Structure 1
């Protein structure tokens, strides 16, 4: 079998990730069913529904076919388990990350390296591209960016070098990407080294470099800001293969790299006249569209796209433009045309076989953006009709809270709130709401029912089952640990002890003035605290710990906050240590019986979700 010291070291370096992510069989082959077990990292421990997001990979030429998808996974105690079937071909491995469904910002991507599933051939040997393909995911797919991965170029270089050593015949496929990753390492003399490596590789190709070699070299020269060298190798391509794929790719690359918009359009026109049936035309349409969009030339963008064939138009790109423009309020008169064009392009495309993308869900997302474009232009009738079309057939549990918020606001502005009320009530019952939707619905019902008390009763009735279900879900993850007693002096000079709070739900929020996530989580904690401001059986303690500076710094900080509360001072850090605080912010909630029932480390960045979770935990413990 083709094992080497490098592969052995790879497995050793994966030991830590193997503690979080395991799978069987250990040497899966194409077509096998792989069962996996994931033990959630700290940021995901308290998440009820965790999704396994993965991308399959193989050689560089097939990476463009790799689309991220979700593996079916269920919670079993402290773990998440699932399974999937490997394709029978075009697969050298899978790269996994795990994400909270309730809060997509909570992601475990194994410190930017993902969790790999390596695939073997029928002899039990590692598949070609199993190592280099992992690095190609960084360079050739959007998967890392969708998951907020910060590329580790040292790791990428190591993966490429191991691939080339393990499979020397794959060097022509990886040499350019390896140099690209080495440039991104930004080591001293990186440019000089890269230029030397390009030259060495081109001279090593016998009897001569291929058009692909030269095209890759041109791309690298441009990246290194050496336009003359790039032009020289492109001229060599024209000599070797004047009308073939490499020549087309070389000229398309030059059009794509052009930064002057007027010249870019001229070069694109020349390209389409020279190669009218080129497969690279759609790529260049996207490149021109992005240039118009970045320049804020929205009318010109629409005019350009109107002249292009729908088959050369990327619907996802157009939808992203329309979505960003509606969200930010830019170029509003052009947004409905862009959104409509995206829908038309999507509907014209034939969905490839085995494409994991849910075409119906994608279409409805596009329709929602079109509805919002109408909404932003006060074309309220068209907006409501399109919102209805976008939501038709969707289960309330799968709707987007932000879109639900827009539907209610649009209905109220159009004096047709009654027409959307049944839909809004259905999504409120399953918790698919934003705080703004809840507030808007409450204010509208105050006018209809005549009092705030009646509106609050109405809302509570809609949410009663959802909140009960969420409390039950959270209760499944409760701990049951003794709560160490403490007595601390507060910032205002009083004392507070846990013993004196027996019979109450006590919330401890460990923080420091220098801790950015701690400060960022304060609005969420204020919301939760304010929810129980009239409840004598709930006590919030904002425990300052690990401050490392004078008390005056804490006092000065608190005085500047829109914030009043009890701030105990854990100067010696004994309380945080007794509660096993590994980092801050840490939230610990103690039940009325004096035992720790809930703890969380860090802050997700979502104030509404954090406030709701803290509130529901307290409600569950009170019951």
Structure 2
């Protein structure tokens, strides 16, 4: 299924700002009630053009086995086509060695002349960004041409570079901001593209402000973030948090206080926010106890998620599943009878999965002494030839103490059986299962905020334990 997602994802990104026509063929397939007619239409499309196969991929996007077979068919029938090109980009993205990626890219330039390879150029640039190879990363980042994708690529590279070369990160950001201004001056730029570029500008300004703040230049950081804050119709939690912190640094305590309080009560605070809010509270309310104040906010957060957990609770039988631990030993649902278990389906290529791990480590630590709660971090939808080694390496490199299990693709069915049994369509996907083998909660994705994630999942675990 992940093969299909990269194909559809890249195509979607390429066409995101074009005026895409309504796909009448896909609508016809979805509305067809006669199974005989439906199969006839599907078979005809399967032997049609590459565009027809794209339509089928959209239709079968929740059927991993069929989707993957369609991708294989398209690559075989259209070896120089868009799907074949996107699959080559997918393979390059999965590679971690810069020189190997460069060789793959050189071959792609020969195999797909004139194709949009911006994603591949960015991937190589990012690999060299992590390797701290400045000449190489700048060389490949320069090859990214799309004015709509380039800001995203620059943001990603600059945010990584900032950890070891803040001056270079600042330069990349200011150069890209100048390029965006040139694009927005074009008369033929669509309203949708302009809105995207506005968001890209705000993202780059926000990152620039973070870099300045880390270097202690709070006043200049505030200047840039203030521009973002007043121009943003929808203010993200990160924007509210960072703006509140900068207001506090400037001594604007009355303005900063409600923003940082909201960050805490939303479960999105970190130790820096909590310390700053406590400091402001002491200044605004001398004589009052800031620890009691923060404790009251924590209690509100806990109560909020307990109430939400009660509303979200379900009662479905968990499907039987088999996964293997890191040593290759098979385990099944029956092995955890009587325990509340948390399944976390993830993959090393999944950004949101990895972003959720700091919070998940916090939850694991919280229940470490509870023998009735067990966590299974199940790696699935692999893209590498040795997914077990890759998953182990990732966890070790990032110092995560998480119990690893593997859901390797079945060679016969071409499915990852465990994730398919739970009918997962996207990861990260989490399931809280009680001691009687009943699914009590389902969670998909990760929206950020470690405290919020810990509070939410803790409420669900406690509820599942109490109701089994």
Q: TM-score, normalised by structure 2?
A: 0.50
Which has a greater percent of strand?
1
Q: TM-score, normalised by structure 1?
A: 0.39
**Structure with the larger RCO, 1 or 2 (CA within 8 Å, 6+ apart):** 2
